Structures are given as C-alpha cells and as structure tokens.
Amino acid sequence: MPDEAVPAPGTPADAPAAPGGFTGLGVSPGRAAGPLMRMAGPPVLPPARPVADAGAELAVVGKALEAVAADLRRRSAAAHDRTSGSGGDDAAEILDALAMMADDPMLREEAEQGVRDGLDAAHALDAAFNRHREALAALGGYLGERAADLDDLKHRAVAGALGVPMPGLPAPGHPYVLVAEDLSPADTAGLGADVLALVTEKGGPTSHTAILARGRGLPAVVACAGITELADGTYISVNGVSGEIAVGVTEAEAARILDEESRERARLAATSGPGRTADGHPVKLLLNIGSAADLRPGAEGVGLFRTEFLFLDRKQAPSFEEQVAAYTEVFRQAEQVVVRTLDAGTDKPLPFLGLPPEHNPALGIRGLRVDRVLPEVLDTQLDAIAEAARATGADAWVMAPMVTTPAEAADFARRARARGIGRVGVMVEVPAAALQADRLLEEVDFLSIGTNDLSQYTFAADRQHPGLADLLDPSQPALLRLVGACAEAGRAAGKPVGVCGEAAGDPVLAPVLAGLGVTSLSMAPVCVPAVRDALARHTLEECRERARTATA
Ligand code: PEP
Ligand code: MG
C-alpha cells in the first residue's frame, strides 16, 4: 500500500526514520521489535564412512526416527495445551501428521535396507527420505507440496543420527524475532510464547507461515529478501501490515514499540459491534473459515466458508451425509453463512476428484469448472447445503468460485434455487467476471470478490510465487478499479458486493474498499478488530477520498 496515501493505523506518524531496513510482504498484522534469532540450518552430511557394525547402525536409524516422532508428539501436545479452548488446533494436527510420517514403517524399512546395503545410518536415512520425497513430489498437487515436509523430517533424523543439534527453533531464553529462510509446518506449529514475530526470506500470503501466524496473532512478514544475512542478536522492528523491517532499533525503541503494540491490542480488543464508518455507514465484518473450529465471536457472520478445506486429504468423495454433518456444525454456530462450493485445483487440489494433471492448472479445470467434467459433485454438495440449512433454519447463502461468464452464473443460480437455497452468488476472481459484474448481477443475488485470485489473474502473477509479491499487492490501482466496477454494479442493482480475499483483512485497505462501495469485508478472525477500528476512524466521504487517490 503506498504509505503517503494511507498510513497504517497504529503506526506513529512521528516514528523515527529507520536507520536501514528491508521490505517484505506483511501477512499477519501487528508490530513487534527485539533481537532476531535465526533458525539453525540443516545438518551437513559428512562423507560416507565404512560400516563396521551394521547392528549398531540399525539401532541408530531406529532411534533417530523415534526421536523425531517423539519430539513432534511432544510439541503437538504443547501446541494442543496452548490452544485448547480456543479451537485453534491446526498446529497440533500438523505436528501429529508429521509424526505419523516419521513413524512410517516403509520409510524405516528402506533406511534399514540402506544400512544392510552398506550405508552408515545418516546416509541411509538421507537416501530413504530422498526416495520418499521424489515419490511424493511425482504425485503433484497438494501431496506434492507435502514433499517439502519430508525434507524437514530428514534434516531432523539425520541430525539425530549424526549426534548434532536438531535444526529448528532457537531457545535463547529471552523473547526474540524469529528469522528463517522459510518455516516448515513443524517449526511454525511448535513456536513458543517467546517468539515476538516471524520474518522469512521465502513464503507467500498463503504459506503455512502466513496462515499459522495469523492464527496465533503473531506479526509476520514473508518474502523478505536478504533478512537471513543479519547477525543473531541484531535488533529489528517488524510491521506485519506494511511488511517493513527496520534494522538497528535501540533496546529502548524496541521496548516502546512492544508497549505501544500491547496497548493497541488491548484497545482493539475492547472494540465491538458491527462494522461502521465514523458516520455510521455499515460495512459488514464477516469471517473466513475452513471449518466450525475456526469460528470466533465478534463478527457479523461468515462471509467465506471454504468447504474444500474439510476434504483436502480425502481419497474418496465425501458422502451427502458427511457433508450435511459438516455444514450443520457450522450453521448451528453462526447466524449467517456464505458457503462456497468446492474450490478445487492448483493450490487446493482434491485427490478424490481424480482429475488428470494439467499443463497449466491455474488456467485449467478449477473452481466451478470442475462441474464441466463432474456435475454430480456440485449437485450432491448443493443438496447437502440445502438439507443442512433446512435442518438448522440457518440463513445459508451459497456461492461458486472461479466463475467467468454470466452463463455459468445463471446455471449455478438455477441449480441452487431449485433446491430452495434463497441467496445465490458468485465469486469474482477473474477479470472477465469483474468486467461483466452488471451482467452477473442479473443472474445472482450477490458478488464476493476474491482478491487473492483476482490479483493473480489480473497481473498474470502466480499467487504462490514469493518473487512476485509486489505484483500480487491488491492495493494496485488496476485491481482496485476492478473492485470499484463490481461495487458500482452492485449499487446500481441494489445487491451486496463484498470482498473475501486477504485484502479484506488489511486495515489500511479496508477504508479504501469501503470507499469503493463494497458492502462487506470477510477475513481471518484475528483481523476483525483492526479492520473494525480502521473503518470507525474515517467517514464515508474520507473513505471515498482514499478510494479516489488509490485508483488514480
Ligand atoms: C480469493 O481467491 O481471494 C479467495 C478468497 O479464494 P481462495 O483464497 O480460497 O482461492
Ligand atoms: Mg480464490
């Protein structure tokens, strides 16, 4: 976001100029400061050595794998204790899944075979993990992305076999800003209370680092080139909204930033009520969730229920009954819910669909387009949503992802309405849809703008590519003009047009989006207080002025 136009709320206007700094992509709001500590790197594998006692090497293999699994389970239990009652069990689940990978008997058997073939324990483990990694990567899609998790396990197991410290989180005995090239799910999930903020060289807005940092309410900046070159102990400040890192802050400045942040959080936590500009113009504050576990109080409903998150690892299609149960659980706890039908493809492959690999998956059969080849999937899901809504009496709205043409919108609306679903909408995620927002609104009752994909397709920049973070920035005028066009179409039709991409949770952009005319903002629960506050600081006319500046 251009700073001269809209300074981040909570950022003191008279903050001293940073003596030096870096800029990455702010992915989890808040500010923090303190000494940085880098994560221990992976162990260096020494040259292979002749094996004198194969039995002893086999024991080392077993112990190393067991130690990795036990460590992950210990951290899972700690993560579970930390989050119990808050519903945030993502970390524990990730750690448990990794522990199961470390326990895989086939992996152990392969490593042991390596020893029997003459390798020492460390090399046998290295080779077995590498083979498993290749096999997983060859599967592509979601499972292919899990291949990187195996590298993390390999480094831990090899370190155990070599008797060197396991790579992973530092434990300096004082609060610190964690700096790393990238964070594995195991690292991110095991973060202790002494971590003030996260900064990584790699990663994007949808990386594990980003998702878990938001879940924990930790400020985080990703795609920050060069940050790992700073020495341990260097004092830095981190702005999780603007992505700015100032280097060389004094201890006193760091203490002041932490103090300001904790007062700011206390102030935000005390705010409540519906989203309103300073002069009372309503902008609904809604939640993005992947399951009932993500629900939190304080918002006005659910603006995006990503139903595919329920079924990401499934090999069999979820049955009608299973789906009814999952939707019912959410409908019972939230008054108004916008359910998005399954959004499969690219970053969210659903193995149970059995879709063939594609040359260019982001432009292929994804989102609503799956309906072209497997229409029964959408029919079953709409049946299940309608049934859960009937059973609970919930105000259930439904919307389709990746809609491109008015004809697609019309077909989706017809099928949803035929089942008695009262409010039917579509997501605007491709420029063609934004440019025909008025035509789409002739077919449906509302639009929800997915700025994550709309940025990807508007700027022809892969949303997972850390090197293209600047092109994915939703505050660019071209993207905001598309948002404005949709909002204007909504105003003319008298129908709601919301934003549910990550941009909606950015307190700097929120007044701009309100000024463009969007009627709701749907975001990760942790973002709600700051966005509510940002809206309340500006009149509608001030929001419009910001929108004019931002789209110029
Ligand atoms: C989006 O694309 O902005 C969106 C909300 O959908 P997802 O991030 O799930 O693709
Ligand atoms: Mg999307």
* DSSP character string of 94-157: HHHHHHHHHT-HHHHHHHHHHHHTT--HHHHHHHHHHHHHHHHHHH-HHHHHTHHHHHHHHHHH
530 lines ligand 1 (CB under 6 A): no
Q: Whose CA is nearest to atom 9 of ligand 1?
A: 306
Give the pLDDT confidence score for residue 141 in this predicted structure: 63
27 or 384, higher pLDDT: 384
**The ligand 1 atom nearest the CA atom of 453:** 2
- If you classify domain 54-162 with CATH, what class do you get? mainly alpha
Ligand 1 centroid – CA 134 distance (Å): 29
pLDDT > 70 fraction of the chain, expressed in percent and rounded: 92
Q: Whose CA is nearest to atom 10 of ligand 1?
A: 453
Q: Please give the helix or strand (H or E) that residue 329 lies within, else none.
A: helix 320-333
Yes or no: say if 88 and 290 are a contact pair by the CB < 8 Å rule: no
Tell me the CATH architecture of domain 21-40+169-267: 3-Layer(bba) Sandwich (3.50)
Q: How far is CA 7 from CA 11, 205, 242, 300, 480, in A?
A: 7, 21, 9, 27, 18
DSSP reduced 3-state for 160: helix
**Could you tell me which of 470, 544, 530, 548 has the C-alpha nearest to residue 31?**
530
Ligand 2 centroid – CA 350 distance (Å): 15
Amino acid at the residue 356: P
Q: What is the spatial distance between Cα 372 and Cα 23, in angstroms, rounded to a whole number?
A: 43
Q: What is the spatial distance between Cα 531 and Cα 275, in angstroms, rounded to a whole number?
A: 8
Distance of CA 322 to the CA centre of its chain: 25
**Residues β-bridged to residue 21:** 246
Give the pLDDT confidence score for residue 89 in this predicted structure: 59
The average confidence (pLDDT) of the chain is 89
DSSP reduced 3-state for 390: helix
Q: What is the spatial distance between Cα 222 and Cα 243, in angstroms, rounded to a whole number?
A: 8
Q: What is the spatial distance between Cα 332 and Cα 20, in angstroms, rounded to a whole number?
A: 51
DSSP reduced 3-state for 338: strand
Q: What kind of fold does domain 284-550 have according to CATH?
A: TIM Barrel (3.20.20)
Could you report the per-residue pLDDT of 362-379, keeping only the tens digit for each?
999 999 999 999 999 999
532 or 474, higher pLDDT: 532
Q: For this structure, is 500 an active site residue?
A: yes
Q: Whose CA is nearest to atom 3 of ligand 1?
A: 450
Q: Please give the helix or strand (H or E) that residue 339 lies within, else none.
A: strand 336-340
* β-sheet with 25-28: strand ranges across: 21-23, 244-247, 235-239, 31-38, 176-180, 195-200, 220-222, 25-28
Q: For this structure, is 486 an active site residue?
A: no
**Could you tell me which of 490, 377, 510, 504 has the C-alpha nearest to residue 452?**
504
Please give the average per-residue pLDDT across 353-358, as a whole number.
89
Ligand 2 centroid – CA 184 distance (Å): 24
Are 21-40+169-267 and 284-550 the same fold in CATH?
A: no
**Ligand lying closest to the C-alpha of residue 402:** 2
322 φ, ψ to 5°?
A: -60, -40
Ligand 2 centroid – CA 78 distance (Å): 33
Q: Which of 123, 224, 486, 500 is catalytic?
A: 500
Q: Is the pLDDT of residue 86 over 60?
A: no
Please give the average per-residue pLDDT across 251-273, as a whole number.
94
Number of other CB atoms surrounding residue 390 within 10 Å: 15
Query: What sign for the dihedral angle of Cα 100, 166, 77, 299?
Result: negative
HEC letters along 484-538? HHHHHHHHHHCCCEEECCHHHHCCCCHHHHHHHCCCEEEECHHHHHHHHHHHHCC
308 lines ligand 1 (CB under 6 A): no
Give the pLDDT confidence score for residue 83 in this predicted structure: 59
Q: How far is CA 214 from CA 33, 151, 220, 259, 348, in A?
A: 17, 24, 8, 20, 19
Q: What is the spatial distance between Cα 282 and Cα 284, in angstroms, rounded to a whole number?
A: 6
Domain boundaries, the chain: 21-40+169-267, 54-162, 284-550
Q: Whose CA is nearest to atom 8 of ligand 1?
A: 452
**The ligand 1 atom nearest the CA atom of 451:** 3
Query: What sign for the dihedral angle of Cα 486, 491, 494, 495?
Result: positive
Q: Please give the helix or strand (H or E) that residue 197 lies within, else none.
A: strand 195-200
Q: How far is CA 70 from CA 88, 107, 284, 304, in A?
A: 22, 16, 45, 37
**Residues β-bridged to residue 35:** 235
- The answer for residues whose C-beta is within 8 angstroms of residue 335's C-beta and 6 or more apart is 301, 394, 395
244 lines ligand 1 (CB under 6 A): no
Could you report the per-residue pLDDT of 394-417, keeping only the tens digit for each?
999 999 999 999 999 999 999 999
Q: Which of 132, 208, 527, 538 is catalytic?
A: 208
Ligand 1 centroid – CA 502 distance (Å): 8
Q: Is the pLDDT of residue 87 over 50?
A: no
Give the pLDDT confidence score for residue 208 in this predicted structure: 65
Could you report the per-residue pLDDT of 146-193, keeping only the tens digit for each?
777 788 889 999 999 998 877 878 877 899 999 998 887 667 767 888
Phi-psi region of 243 (alpha: psi -120 to 50; beta: other; left: phi over 0): left
